[in-house]
Amino acid sequence: MKGMKGFALALAMLLAGSILPLGLAESNNTTGSYTGVAMDNSTREMVIAGQLIDQLQRLSKFAEDKIEPIKDKLPENSTILTHYELAEDYKEKAVSEYEAGDYYNSILDSLTAMHHYRVALSALKEAKERVQDIRERIKMKIERMTEYFRFVEKTIRLAENQGIDVSNLTALYNEAKDACKVVLDDLKAGDYEKAKADYEAAKEKKALLDEELRKVREELAYANADKIVKDFLIKGEKGMEIAQKAIEVGEEKGYDVTELQERLDAFSEVYDQVEALADEGKWEDALTLMKDNRESIVEFHRAVKLILRKIRERELDEKLKDIRAFLREMNSRIHKDAKALRELKRRGVDTTRAEVQLKVAAQELRVGVALLRAKKPLQAKAHFAIALEMLHKVDKFILVHS
């Protein structure tokens, strides 16, 4: 029995510090005051038990301050509540045993209480981290919806100008927007469970809005069938030229271009049919044909985008051989494009999107330079690629509106 007690006492001294939070373990440490004093086992038990009770009371207060304010919001079977209540029970038992002079069992129950407090506090910390993660994810999704609402607003304005009935779309838009506002209010109030439930309700509202938006956009498309078909023919012709040139270069180098050739052939067939209908002024029939062959059209343009991206990657690799010249060229283009956009804006052209793209190009260029200085060339290249892509888009916008 004495061996067991000695082991328990040693264990108590070792575990007390590891179980307690660091701040609690370091404060009011009284062990040193007994150093060098000869004590029999009973005195040693009394001293250790007293120290543990003192630390336990402070740990209990620490846990109480953290858990009691949210206790009523926790489910009955939660890990936090289960271990907190066990800790409280063992604490009361340890205090009673100490007061009765049963120091050995008081030590054991103090350590057990500390263990349960630790588990409860650890679970609380994990729960707070999960809640924070949920909050950020919901907030990010609501922000994406806000961007989507801008698109809906633009569609409503365009449809109204075309004389299309948008009463249902406007009503559903307002309902979805109000539902998102409720979610944001929940997040501000810190009621994350309600925020989750209200976000699901907002998603349902958005689904209804999506369906009505699709109908209005289809009406809008047919009201502007001639413009859409003409734009398709212009872009399609350029795309076929790029694809044909890529096929010729690929064949010269011995690459397998079968898949690209198949996509070009499928698109060319649709293009010729659309062009024939357009020549007859059958714009709505041409648009319907485009709609029926959407998959072939999308696959072809995706292939063209991939070709263009590879061309720009090679262009970037070539430019980066002289980094100073590249940076001078990029800064010069940014300044020239900024001046050109100001002129277009003065003439009444809506340059908002191009201005944002130019701003992104400048930011990405700065990030790339910073990464180069940090000796991270591969990461810098990725940002330079984005900057170059944005500048291509801005240049295209300026060319179209000049």
The DSSP symbol for 291 reads: H
| Secondary structure E strands in 286-386 | none
pLDDT over threshold 60, residue 27: no
> What does the pLDDT read at residue 30?
45
Task: Give the model confidence (pLDDT) of 255-285 as tens digits.
Answer: 788 888 999 999 999 999 999 999 999 999 9
Residue 20 in 3-state DSSP?
A: coil
Tell me: pLDDT of 1 over 90: no
Query: Distance of CA 145 to CAs 35, 141, 188, 205, 399, Å?
Result: 66, 6, 18, 11, 32
Give the domain ranges of the chain. 2-129, 225-292, 316-402
CA 360-365-366 angle, to 5 degrees, is 100
What is residue 37's predicted lDDT score, i.e. its pLDDT?
Answer: 44
* Amino acid, res. 11: L
pLDDT tens, 340-374? 999 999 999 989 889 999 999 999 999 999 999 99
Sign of the C-alpha dihedral, residues 96, 98, 100, 105?
Answer: positive
Q: At residue 42, does pLDDT exceed 90?
A: no
Work out the pLDDT band at 39, boundaries 50, 70, 90.
Answer: low
Residue 14: pLDDT over 80: no
Query: Distance between CA 128 and CA 116 in Å, rounded?
Result: 18
The pLDDT score that the predictor gives to residue 29 is 47
Question: Of 89, 108, 116, 90, nearest to 19 (Cα)?
Answer: 116
pLDDT at 18: 44
pLDDT of residue 41: 65
What percent of the chain lies above the pLDDT cut of 90? 57
Cβ-proximal residues to 109 (8 Å cutoff; 6+ apart), any chain: 90, 91, 93, 94, 97
Residue 45's pLDDT band (boundaries 50, 70, 90)? confident
Closest CA relative to residue 48, chosen from 19, 6, 88, 89: 6
What's the pLDDT tens digit per position in 127-162?
A: 888 777 778 888 888 888 888 999 999 999 999 998
pLDDT per position as a tens digit, 80-126: 889 999 999 999 999 999 999 999 999 999 999 999 999 989 988 88
What are all long-range contacts of 72-76, with beta carbons under 8 Å and residues at least 24 apart? none
Tell me if 134 sits within 8 A of 179, measured CB to CB. Answer: no
Q: Is residue 173 packed enough to be buried (19+ CB in 10 Å), middle (13-18) or exposed (0-12)?
A: buried
Residue 310: count other Cβ atoms within 10 Å of its Cβ: 11
For every residue of 36-101, DSSP letters joined together read: T----HHHHHHHHHHHHHHHHHHHHHHHHHHHGGGGGGS-TT-HHHHHHHHHHHHHHHHHHHHHTT
∠ CA 282-288-292, rounded to 5°: 145
Q: Give yes or no for a contact between 53 and 46, defined as CB atoms under 8 angstroms apart.
A: no
Q: What phi-psi label fits residue 350: left (phi over 0), alpha (psi between -120 and 50 degrees) or beta? A: beta
Residue-level pLDDT at 74? 78
**Contact between 230 and 172 (Cβ < 8 Å):** no
pLDDT tens for residues 160-211? 998 999 999 999 999 999 999 999 998 888 787 888 899 999 999 999 999 9
- Determine the pLDDT at residue 28: 47
Q: Which amino acid is at 253?
A: K
CB 83 within 8 A of CB 117: yes
